[in-house]
Amino acid sequence: MELEQTLARDAEIALSKDRFSHVQGVVETAEQLASLHGVDRVSARLAAWLHDLAREWPEAKLEMEAEKIDVPKGFGAIPTLLHGPVAAHLGRTVYDIGDADILHAVTYHTTGSLGMGMLDKVLFLADTIEPGRRFPEVTAIRELSQVSLDDAMLLALDSSLKYLLAVKKQIFPLTVMVRNEYLEKVQKA
């Protein structure tokens, strides 16, 4: 079986119906953004199929798996964040994906990272704006993503931080740093 088909099948097995349709939406959106902005479409699709593969694992299982790998600093403080690095680890070990850009995009798809590459931004944004997403700024982020990935990133990060404040959820410090980086980028442009 082709790698993409295998990943799609395994995502369907691992995920609830709703989350699987989220992932299908991310695949479509990532491919569209990739072709528009000159990013490799196959990489975008593979990263999208992989990104939430461990999203529904129980916290204890995520934490156990994370112990075997090099998790980015601080991720352990908010266990859900581990689903990115753990999915990247599955990509490397189970699916033999050696492409560092794909693994990086998957690792940081929830938090963002400093100096994000094109594929990082494509996956982060596709995850935020896939057709099933509903939140106040989503239409504006969708429109911006067709023009400028950086402008779309700033609005996506601002909107995510606002949401986390509103629902009293923890904010990961790296995400604030990433947001500041885009603020500077967009203001300079």
Q: For binding to Fe ion (CB under 5 A), which residues are involved?
A: 52, 127
Q: Judge contact between 139 and 114, C-beta under 8 A.
A: no
Burial of residue 52, with CB atoms counted within 10 A of its CB: 0-12 exposed, 13-18 middle, 19 or more buried: buried
Distance separating alpha carbons of residues 58 and 136, to the nearest angstrom: 30
Q: Which is nearer to Fe ion, 171 or 183 (CB)?
A: 171
Per-residue DSSP letter, 115: T
Q: Which is nearer to Fe ion, 153 or 183 (CB)?
A: 153
Rounded least distance, CB 142 to Fe ion, Å: 16
Rounded least distance, CB 25 to Fe ion, Å: 9
Query: What 3-state DSSP class applies to 171?
Result: coil
Q: Which is nearer to Fe ion, 56 or 184 (CB)?
A: 56
Rounded least distance, CB 51 to Fe ion, Å: 5
Distance of CA 171 to the CA centre of its chain: 16
Contacts (Cβ under 8 Å, ≥6 apart) of 80 = 59, 110
Q: Judge contact between 86 and 45, C-beta under 8 A.
A: no
Among candidates 83, 133, 75, which has minimal Cα distance to 106?
A: 83
Q: Which is nearer to Fe ion, 52 or 65 (CB)?
A: 52
Q: Which is nearer to Fe ion, 85 or 149 (CB)?
A: 85
Rounded least distance, CB 75 to Fe ion, Å: 13
Rounded least distance, CB 99 to Fe ion, Å: 19
